[in-house]
Amino acid sequence: MKVAVVGATGLVGGEILKVLAERDFPVTELLLVASEKSVGKQMEFKGKQIKVIGMQDAIAAAPQIAIFSAGGGTSTEWAPKFAEAGTVVVDNSSAWRMDPSKKLVVPEINAKELTKEDKIIANPNCSTIQMVVALNKLHEQLKMKRIVVSTYQSVTGTGVKAVDQLMNERAGKEGEKAYPYQIDLNVLPHIDVFQDNGYTKEEMKMILETKKIMGDDSIRVTATAVRIPVMGGHSESVNVEFEKDFTLDQVYNILNETEGVVVVDDVKNLKYPMPQDAHGKDEVLVGRVRLDETQPRSLNMWIVADNLRKGAATNAVQIAEYLVKHQLV
């Protein structure tokens, strides 16, 4: 299995390499692909040094799978060229997510929709992934009517520049800025660009992607996305209203049986999900589960996951694993 990682030198690219190695993905040849300024750079994978190559060389090498994490513009330009050459592209950017001709895949939920005809497969937004993983089985059994979500998102979601900004501010040093304001000791209710309706693009991604992944346009979703000065993972406060009645015991049973979810909910002993506990893990942590006492059939919960892993790298590698297992490549 010849695999290309496009955007290999970035934060998510590095995480993809780590996940490929950890999960022992059947790579016989690994192509590390990046922009021209990184071509020739040496990177390590499983103890071997591999030289970074450019896009054209990667296409010419004809990998079976290319995992992209290089931004929407790069994906828009290059993913179709890889696909035309016979490579199946798993893309981490927002470029293809809402394209009606492309599948938007979280393996635990809808990988079964994939076929050999799918040459560009979209990986959802990190915040959307962790939320739908936690809610999917509840939706199957209780049918969700409405979701209200507020996110508390790590600076790692923006990239290396944002991490540097936070650490520079913490150290009292000047440096390049990823955000329009200080992020250390601050909170920014602003992720991605503002849209005409007053929501940010990040908030609209969560709203639209949730419906597409779940295959249910009737679910009403509203979101507020916030950047906070942490590393390790994204957190979400989620309020969800269901059509069917339920008990808390029933909810816990469903969550405990949900693939990819770990329940961390013991408030008597102050046990609840935190980004530092999610860091480096592939599971979605769920806690603070409680009834919404202001309206019937409604629930509050707190959802945390490592945004670079399940929110990006691990989900993409799981898609690739599904393709291999089901002989779709």
Name the phi and psi angles at 308, rounded to 5.
Answer: -80, -20
Q: How confident is the model at residue 264 (pLDDT cuts 50, 70, 90)?
A: very high
Q: Which helix (H) or strand (E) holds 119?
A: none
C-alpha to C-alpha distance for 28 and 326, rounded to whole angstroms: 18
pLDDT band at 232 (very low <50, low <70, confident <90, very high): confident
Helix H segments across 111-247? 126-142, 160-171, 201-214
Whether residue 148 is predicted with pLDDT greater than 90 in this model: the reply is yes
Q: How far apart are CA 124 and CA 315, in angstroms?
A: 9
Say whether 33 counts as a known binding-site residue: no
**Is 9 among the annotated ligand-binding positions?**
yes
DSSP state, residue 94: S
pLDDT band at 205, cuts 50/70/90? very high
Report whether 97 belongs to an annotated binding site.
yes
Summarize pLDDT for 163-175 with one digit per residue, the tens: 999 999 999 999 9
pLDDT tens column, 274-321: 999 999 999 999 999 999 999 999 999 999 999 999 999 999 999 999
Q: What is the model's pLDDT at position 290? A: 98
What confidence category does residue 245 fall into, taking pLDDT thresholds of 50, 70 and 90?
A: very high
Per residue in 57-114, pLDDT (tens digit) is 999 999 999 999 998 999 999 999 999 999 999 999 999 999 999 999 999 999 999 9
* Residue with token string 């290999």: 8
Q: Tens digit of pLDDT for each residue in 180-202?
A: 999 999 999 999 999 999 999 99
Domains of the chain, CATH where assigned: 2-123+312-326 (3.40.50.720), 127-154+187-305 (3.30.360.10)
Report pTM.
0.95
Whether 134 has a pLDDT exceeding 90, the answer reads: yes
Q: What is the pLDDT of residue 53?
A: 96
Annotated binding residue at 37? yes
6-64 confidence digits (pLDDT tens):
999 999 999 999 999 999 999 999 999 998 899 999 999 999 999 999 999 999 999 99
Q: Does the annotation place 11 within a ligand binding site? A: yes
**Which pLDDT band, with edges at 50, 70 and 90, does 130 fall under?**
very high
Give the SS3 label for residue 116.
Answer: coil
Active-site positions read 126, 234
At residue 236 the predicted structure's pLDDT band, cuts being 50, 70 and 90, is very high
- Taking residue 198's Cβ as centre, other Cβ atoms within 10 Å add up to 7
Instruction: Answer yes or no: is 307 a known binding residue.
Output: yes
Average pLDDT, the chain: 97
Q: Which residues contact 299 (CB under 8 A, 6 or more apart)?
A: 239, 240, 241, 242, 246, 251, 289, 290, 291, 292
Residue 207 neighbours by CB under 8 Å, 6+ apart: 199, 221, 222, 223
Has 260 been labeled as part of a binding site? no
- Residue 204: the pLDDT is 98
